[in-house]
Amino acid sequence: MSILITGNLGFLGTNLTLHLLKRDFKIIGVDRISYCSNLSALKLMKKHKKFLFYKADIKNTKLMSKLVKNVDMVINFAAFTHVDNSIKTPEIFVENNIVGFQRLLKVCAQQNKLLIHISTDEVYGEILRGEAGEENRFNPRNVYSATKAAEECLINAYKNNYGLKSAILRPCNVFGYWQYTEKLIPKTITLALEKKKIPVYGNGKQIREWLFCEDFNSAVELILEKNIQEGTYNVGSRTRKENIQVVKKILDILGKDYSLIKFVDDRPGHDRRYAINSQKIRSLGFRARFDFDAALEKTVFWYAKNRKK
C-alpha cells in the first residue's frame, strides 16, 4: 500500500511516518517545513527505500495532483496546531488550515482517492460534564479548533457535492516523541531539565484526556487494516488529568522541585475540560495499550536523551 502523508514532519505525522515505514508501507511525505518540523526525523525516514519526501505546501495544487495520482490514499496532518499562536495570528491559521486544506480536498475528490483526515477533540469545545460522542455538536472556542471544525465541514460538503471518500479521526491530546516544545509536556520536560521556571496557565486545573503517540499510531493502523473509508472516530484513552498534575508528575520523574512551577495569567477563553467517548473505535478492536505514567516516563527519558544541548 502506498500512502501520501501531508504534514509528515510535524509531531503526529513524524510518529506515524516512522511507524508505517517500519511496517513496510510505501510512504510519500509532504511538508512545507516550518519552525516545528522534525528535520532530524527526516534523516531517519530517508534511510528507508520506500520513502520519498517533497518540501512543498499542500496549496501547490499542481504538485499535489501529481503525488495523489501515484498513491492509494492520503493521510492529512497538515495544519498549524498551537492554540496560543492561533489567538495571536488568526489569519495565518485560516489561510493554512482552511484555504490550503480545500485545495487538497479538491485534488482527492477529482482523483477519487481516499482521504483519512486527522482532526481533534477540540472541535467539541469544553465538556464540563460527561463525554463528547461523535454526534455531539461542534462548539470550537479558539481559532485553531474553529479551523479544524471548518475542515470537517468542508469534508462533509465535498462528500455530498463531489463524492469524496473520507474518514475522520478526532484524537484527544496526544503526547510522546518528537513533539515541539511549545506544547505542555515537552515544554515542561525541557524547562525542568534546564532548571528554568515552568509557566502554568491559571490555576492549572484544566483537564485534558491524554493518549500516547504509539497508541495513536495503532489507531490509524487499525483504520487502514479495516479498510475504513467513511465515518468519524474519536480516539481517546479515558485517562484524564489536570495540567498541574501532569507537570508535577514530570517533575517527580526528573527529581525536580515543585518550586519550578510558575502560575501565569490564563489565556483567553481557555477550555476547562475535554473528554471524549471512544466506544466507536473500540468496537473495531482499538485499545490504548500504554499506561499514562509509564508512557510519560518513556517520553521524559526520550527528551532527556534527544534534547539539544
CATH number at residue 123: 3.40.50.720
> pLDDT at position 307, please?
77
Does the active-site annotation cover 144? Answer: yes
Between 100-110 and 61-69, two packed helices, what is the crossing angle to 10 degrees? Answer: 40
- 259 lies in a domain? no
Mean pLDDT by 10 residues, the chain (309 residues): 96 98 97 93 97 96 97 95 88 91 97 98 96 97 95 98 98 97 96 97 97 98 97 98 98 98 94 97 97 98 85
- 201 lies in a domain? no
Does the active-site annotation cover 152? Answer: no
From the list 124, 144, 158, 233, the catalytic residue is: 144
- 36 lies in a domain? yes
- 204 lies in a domain? no
Q: pTM, whole model, 2 decimals?
A: 0.95
> pLDDT at position 193, please?
97
> pLDDT at position 220, please?
98
> pLDDT at position 133, please?
98
- 187 lies in a domain? no
From the list 31, 121, 151, 271, the catalytic residue is: 121
- For residue 6, give the C-alpha cell: 501531508
- For residue 78, give the C-alpha cell: 497538515
- 11 lies in a domain? yes
Residues sharing a CB contact under 8 Å with residue 279, sequence separation 6 or more, in sequence order: 133
> In angstroms, rounded to a whole number, what is the distance separating the alpha carbons of residues 104 and 117?
11
Does the active-site annotation cover 95? Answer: no
- 260 lies in a domain? no
Structural domains of the chain, count: 1
> pLDDT at position 308, please?
65
Residues paired with residue 209 on neighbouring β-strands, in sequence order: 240
- Contact between residue 57 and residue 99 where contact means Cβ atoms under 8 Å apart: no
Q: What are phi and psi of 274, to 5 degrees?
A: -120, 140
- 71 lies in a domain? yes
> In angstroms, rounded to a whole number, what is the distance separating the alpha carbons of residues 297 and 252?
10
- The residue range of the domain holding 150 is 2-177+210-237+275-290
From the list 31, 122, 152, 209, the catalytic residue is: 122
